[in-house]
Amino acid sequence: MTTTPQTEAYLVYTLQTGQASAFATLHRNYSSALFNVLVGLVGDYERAEDLLQDSFVKIWTHIHHYDPAQGRLYTWLLTITRNVALDELRSRKVHTKAVKYISQRSSELTQPVVNTGLVNGSVFALLPPKQRQIMELLYQKGWTLLEIAKKLKLPLGTVKTRVRMAIQTLKQFFHQDICLYR
């Protein structure tokens, strides 16, 4: 649809005042053009239909941010629609990486070699006995560091050091998992 500045300004005014009929007009006039852009970006008609709906929801909820001084309405609509599509493509990329990673990790976990702690239900089993004992008291029993130091007859600094070392060991073990989701 080609709009004159007056009709576009009126449409924006009616949209910003929350008139549902204006939204219907907006959808009728711009949906096919925005749909074609989405199909071009995501390459899937059904997914483009869903993204078009997401785009119009975002347009409706953010119409008060539109500023005619910064550009035409169609350009603003196109930018929102494009951003919705790019979010979808990024999501697909992360999902694809995650599926690949999970399938690789699941085959490793079905044949446990070192990870017996994970099979037995406690990641603390991955730790040396002195660290494991402190971490179990701290996280499973809810004891304070001072209570652990008294119970094990250790200096408080030793308990703190073993907790730090245990956390570093677990962080190193799960480093690959952590990096995947950054």
Token digits for 58?
A: 């975002």
Cα atoms in the Cβ-side hemisphere of radius 13 Å centred on 6: 0
pLDDT band with cut points at 50, 70 and 90 for residue 159: very high
Give the pLDDT confidence of 80-104 residue by residue, as tens digits. Answer: 999 999 888 888 777 677 667 666 6
Q: How many residues does the chain have?
A: 182
Token digits for 29?
A: 């006039």
Give the pLDDT confidence of 161-173 residue by residue, as tens digits. Answer: 999 999 998 888 7
**Residue carrying structure tokens 């999501």:** 91
pLDDT band with cut points at 50, 70 and 90 for residue 118: very low
**Residue carrying structure tokens 């408080």:** 156
Question: Which domains are seen in the chain, by residue range?
Answer: 5-107 (1.10.1740.10), 112-180 (1.10.10.10)
Q: Give the C-alpha separation, 182 to 179, whole Å.
A: 5
DSSP code, position 124:
G
pLDDT band with cut points at 50, 70 and 90 for residue 120: very low
pLDDT at residue 111, as a whole number: 46
Token digits for 24?
A: 């219907």
Rounded to whole angstroms, what are the CA distances from 25 to 13, 30, 76?
13, 8, 16
**What is the DSSP code string of 26-72?**
HHHHHHHHHHHHHHHHH--HHHHHHHHHHHHHHHHHHGGG--GGG--
Query: Are the C-beta atoms of 114 and 70 separated by less than 8 Å?
Result: no
Q: How many CB atoms lie within 10 A of CB 166?
A: 23
Mean pLDDT (whole number) for 101-130:
62
